[in-house]
Structure 1
Amino acid sequence: MRTVLAREMGGCSVLGRIWGVWRRRPGVRAVPKAPGFGTEAGHRLRSRGSSKRSRPLGGQPFPELLQLENLSREELVDVLRAAVVDQKGKPGELTLFSVLPELSQSLGLGDQELQVVQASGKETSGLVLLSSCPQTASRLQKFFIHSRRAQRPTATYCAVTDGIPATSEGKIQAALKLEHVDGVDLVIPVKSPSRKDFQEGVKRTLSHFRVVAMGSGCALVQLQPLTVFPSQLQVHMVLQLCPVLGDHTYSAHVGTVLGQRFLLPAESTKPQRQVPDEALLRRLCLTPSQAAQLPLHLHLHCLHLPGMRPGEAPMKLLAPLPSYFSRTLQCLGLHQQ
């Protein structure tokens, strides 16, 4: 296993960058290259902020998050040199796909077209893999498919959860379906699915989780999806009664009575802003209005890839944590053991 920069692999210009998109208003977060990116040092989760406890934040609690309405196409292409945004979008919407031709030209690739090889959900920060080489892209996509069939994880996410899983590690299995509810596409768990359910779009999903650190009623969790489904990791953590911090869609499915958590019916529970309790707000040094803007704390930290040439060792691509994620770890006292 060798750890490499995501920018060049085998001369095929496979690109990997940190990315992030704001939920209500599509945006792009510019993240400078960090010293640990693409190195073994970057593999260690660490807080990069001050050693002192963070002070309350001002009017803009997450300054790295930019809004697309404030960017021109040229500025977005410049930002994409260091950050990649949502892989899908509505017609006419300013997204990664809509500016891939300009990005290709900006990177000096000439007539070579860039395509997305691997990406996570649009609210998730971390790595996105682009390729200008069709053969490399096809080979990598086949690698990911074969790995899933063999239940070999290729991606590792970091998450901060509101709540602590009952066990330190394990597997989460659930049958999920995608439903359009009140104008919103939502992922719904299905109990005891029938053969007809699977014929109508229900999918079996599987993820592995491991608790890395605990503190202040929260946990730092490593997640490895072994299947692919929209919002899979968020829903899986809700099923553990530990929603991801900043999950303003599915965290509403977890209710609390007399300090005990329970699942609410997903079909009848509308998405709403996550509301951390007062103790957690104090630890995070956030006001309720700032907490309503809390980004999803789910980060694609590591991708495992095969060697690009016969006989080459496998590779590992790494993305350091965003500064807001590191700040949260510092505030909550969550550190890798």
Structure 2
Amino acid sequence: MGALRVWRWVSGTWRPGFGAGVRRRDAGFGTEARRRPQPQASSKSKDPAEDQPFPGLLRTENLGVEELVDVLKAAVVDQKGPLVTLNKPQGLPVTGRPGELTLLSVLPQLSQALGLGHGELQVVRAPGKEASGLVLLSGCPQTASRLQKFFAHSRRSQRPTATYCAITDGIPEPSEGTVSVALKLERMDGIDLAVPVASPSRKDILEGVKRTLSHFHVMATGCGCALVQLQPLTEVTSQIHRLWERGQSFLVRKNSWLLTHLSVFPSQLQVHMALQLCPVLGDHTYAARVGTVLGQRFLWPATTTKPQTQVLDEALLKRLRLSPSQVAQMPLHLHLQRLLLPGTRSRDPPSELLAPVPSYFSRTLQCLRLSQK
């Protein structure tokens, strides 16, 4: 994705430092999104194309334990002693209820498959269920602690260590900048959703409201969509995760890493892109907050908007070669592509880990003629 950009604080916002060029605005933004009518029942036989799975998507929920371990073993991108880095498939939850197939539930079998013996792997860093990308695992508590101190220090110093890439429906304007907003998790119809909070008070902060910050940079544009680089800079506290795991307190007790080891507020990047009126492709939760009238986009109130299948216009569907039923299966196009790790010695520069994007992500890039630089 290229070198990290240098940012400086100017007039209450982050801006690129000297030598960091800014791309010109793309005039192609503003494709109208129309709500597609629901198909009516028919006695005619259904088109087989309507039942086709989403191209290039691995359905991890259809795998058994041994199959998932084989997939994760093949997804290892780096292994140095007790530190293992793998490229997590989209849709695989890191944790879950007892009996559910998750990354944590198969760590003992994965440790054996990787030849780590009885060393117990623990999660150091991981993207959420709906995102794909780099996961850090460690079988050494000292190594895990050192990495967490590095990540915490980097967040306090406002130095991003994680770089995501996303494909958005719409092109952010301007093409480079920062999104900063306070968020809280609010229970709506049995689901915890991230909701913006205007001017949060001290009491709000104590009750779980978090000020979130993300840098974004448009890398390429095409067909009314954009390839966007995203770098979150939000430190998540235990109050946030207690809200996130509401009704699942047993998970918090059993998986204490949840309280400290995730570096992004739940759904932060999806919410930030929706606030830019450019939801991430495959976001069936927050894209509904973006409406369109006469080709102009606007935000619906977050507290009154329910999740639904993302609506894409006919031209984009044709470009992506997707049927309407496949849109409902479209995975979130959000990938943790790069992580910075501390050097061997304190004065050494950080090392870099990279993970290739999934097959479905590559297919979408090709269909939209978006090229990564």
Aligned-partner residue type, residue 168 of structure 2: T
> Among residues 122, 136, 139, which one is paired with 2:143 in the alignment?
136
Taking the TM superposition and a 5 Å limit, the aligned residue runs for 1:277-316 are 277-309=313-345, 312-316=348-352
> Among residues 36, 50, 53, which one is paired with 1:60 in the alignment?
53
2:7 is aligned to none
The CA deviation at 1:309 is: 4.3
The CA deviation at 1:313 is: 4.2
Identity of aligned residues (%): 72
1:166 is aligned to 173
Q: In structure 1, how many angstroms separate the alpha carbons of the residues matched to 2:354 and 2:277?
A: 29
Q: In structure 1, how many angstroms separate the alpha carbons of the residues matched to 2:372 and 2:117?
A: 43
Residue 289 of structure 2 corresponds to residue 253 of structure 1: yes
1:264 is aligned to 300
Q: In structure 1, how many angstroms separate the alpha carbons of the residues matched to 2:172 and 2:231?
A: 15
Post-superposition Cα deviations, 1:193-213, rounded to whole Å, max 9, x if no partner, equal 222211211000000000011
Q: In structure 1, how many angstroms separate the alpha carbons of the residues matched to 2:295 and 2:346?
A: 56
After superposition, the Cα gap between the structure-2 partners of 1:107 and 1:336, relative to the gap in structure 1 and judged at 3 Å, is closer
Structure with higher Rg: it is: 2
Q: In structure 2, how many angstroms separate the alpha carbons of the residues matched to 1:253 and 1:310?
A: 45
Q: In structure 2, how many angstroms separate the alpha carbons of the residues matched to 1:195 and 1:184?
A: 25
Taking the TM superposition and a 5 Å limit, the aligned residue runs for 1:78-227 are 78-83=70-75, 84=88, 85-227=92-234
Structure 2: gaps of 5 or more residues:
1-48, 76-87, 235-263
Paired residue secondary structure (2:181): strand
Q: In structure 2, how many angstroms separate the alpha carbons of the residues matched to 1:149 and 1:311?
A: 18
Higher relative contact order (CA 8 A, sep 6+): 1
CA RMSD of aligned residues (A): 1.8
Assess if the C-alpha contact under 8 Å between 1:157 and 1:302 holds in 2. yes
> Among residues 54, 73, 77, which one is paired with 2:65 in the alignment?
73
Q: In structure 1, how many angstroms separate the alpha carbons of the residues matched to 2:344 and 2:109?
A: 26
2:268 is aligned to 232
The CA deviation at 1:187 is: 0.6
Aligned-partner residue type, residue 246 of structure 1: G
Assess if the C-alpha contact under 8 Å between 1:57 and 1:286 holds in 2. no
Post-superposition Cα deviations, 1:255-306, rounded to whole Å, max 9, x if no partner, equal 1111111111111111001011111101111111111111100011100111
Assess if the C-alpha contact under 8 Å between 2:56 and 2:359 holds in 1. no
The CA deviation at 1:58 is: 7.8
The CA deviation at 1:247 is: 0.2
Post-superposition Cα deviations, 1:3-38, rounded to whole Å, max 9, x if no partner, equal xxxxxxxxxxxxxxxxxxxxxxxxxxxxxxxxxxxx
TM score, norm. by length of structure 2:
0.72
Q: In structure 1, how many angstroms separate the alpha carbons of the residues matched to 2:274 and 2:346?
A: 42
Aligned-partner residue type, residue 102 of structure 1: Q
Aligned-partner residue type, residue 59 of structure 2: L
> Among residues 327, 331, 334, which one is paired with 2:363 in the alignment?
327
Q: In structure 2, how many angstroms separate the alpha carbons of the residues matched to 1:276 and 1:149?
A: 39
Assess if the C-alpha contact under 8 Å between 1:275 and 1:288 holds in 2. no
Taking the TM superposition and a 5 Å limit, the aligned residue runs for 1:40-55 are none
Q: In structure 2, how many angstroms separate the alpha carbons of the residues matched to 1:128 and 1:297?
A: 17
2:81 is aligned to none
Aligned length in residues: 282
Structure 1: gaps of 5 or more residues:
1-55
